Amino acid sequence: MHIARQGIFYSLILCGVILLLGGAGFWLLDPGVDTFADGLWLAFTTAATVGYSDLVPSTHASRMFAVIVVLLGLAVLSLATASLAAIFVEKDFEEGEELQIEHELTGEIRHLREDVQRLRQEVMNAKAGRYPVSPPDLTAK
C-alpha cells in the first residue's frame, strides 16, 4: 500500500513538472500564447488530450512540442491512474500473513515436486516392465 501511495505521489509531482515545462514551452514557442497561464492551460488541455480549442498550437514548432506533451502526459497520467487503482485493489495483509502464505506455497510446491518425482519413477518402472500388479494409489499423499 505504501508503494502505491508513493507511486501516485511521484506521478503527480511528475505531472506538475510536465505541465510547468509544457506551459513554459508553449509560452516561448507559440506567438498565440500571450501569458504563462495561457501556456499552462494549453499544456494541460494538450496533456489530458481534452483540446477545448480556445488555445491551439499555431506554429510547426509548437505543434511538435504538443506531440511531446501529449505523449508524456498520457504516460504520466497512466502511471497515476495505475497507482490509484492499486490503492483501491490492494488487500491489506496483517503482519506475518505474507510469510505464512509464502510458507504454505513453498510446502505445496515441495509436495508437487515429490509427486512428479514419484510419477516419473513409476513411468520408468512401467517402461522397464516392472509395473506393480496393482496400480499405485494416486490419491495418497
Cα dist from 35 to 29, 40, 65, whole Å:
12, 9, 17
Instruction: State the CATH number of the domain containing residue 18.
Output: 1.10.287.70
Spatial contact of 66 and 46, defined as CB atoms under 8 Å apart: yes
CA-wise closest residue to 65 among 33, 25, 21, 24? 25
Does a structural domain hold residue 119?
A: yes
| Position 95 in a domain | no
Domain count, the chain: 2
pLDDT tens sequence across 9-61:
888 888 899 999 999 999 999 999 999 999 999 999 999 888 888 899 999 99
What's residue 6's pLDDT?
Answer: 74
| pLDDT the model gives residue 141 | 58
What is the C-alpha separation between 43 and 49, in angstroms, rounded? 10
User: How many Å apart are CA 131 and CA 128, to the nearest integer?
Assistant: 8
pTM of the model: 0.57
Question: Is residue 96 assigned to a domain?
Answer: no
Q: What is the CA radius of gyration of the chain?
A: 30
Residue type, 119: L
Instruction: Note whether 63 and 111 are same-domain residues.
Output: no
E strands, 1-141, where?
Answer: none
Report the C-alpha gap between 137 and 37 in whole angstroms: 77
* Dist CA 115 CA 120 (whole Å): 9
For residues 56 and 113, membership in a common domain is answered with no
Residues 36, 66: one domain? Answer: yes
- Provide the residue range defining the domain that includes 123: 106-141
Residues 21 and 85 in one domain: yes
Mean pLDDT of the chain: 84
> Does residue 1 register a pLDDT over 70?
no
Distance CA(72)–CA(65), nearest Å, equals 11
Let me know if residue 101 belongs to a domain: no
Asked whether residue 100 is assigned to any structural domain, the reply reads: no
Are 10 and 79 found together in one domain? yes
Give the length of the chain: 141
